[in-house]
Amino acid sequence: MMPEDGLDSKLDALFAEYRGSCPEPEPSAGFTPGLWRKIDARRNYSFRLSQMARRFATAAAAISTVLLLLLLAPVMQNSVISTGTYVEALSDEHEIMAFADIVHPELPADSALQ
């Protein structure tokens, strides 16, 4: 359905009247600073709190990673990689345990007091 010429001219007149009632903004040197002032004024406490929480979570993750690496560093240095077979490893463990000073918990009650 095609609009009538009368409606088109009325619509054009309405748009022209609207343009005439609103002044055209002129760009100025203070436009961007003024815009940022308005944006900052609308930011509220919860926005700042969420930013602080994100920073805290990032710092906590970084600290946790550093502490984990510090905790695992001695373990990684002292790890021994066995190049022998399973039977050789059991034999070596048996020899070590044969010379170890093993404390037995089933001592008589009299000897515990001495």
Average pLDDT over all residues of the chain:
78
Residue 56: which pLDDT band, with cuts at 50, 70 and 90? very high
Question: Residue type at 22?
Answer: C
The reported pTM is: 0.37
In angstroms, the Cα distances linking 14 to 4, 17, 21, 101 are: 16, 5, 11, 103
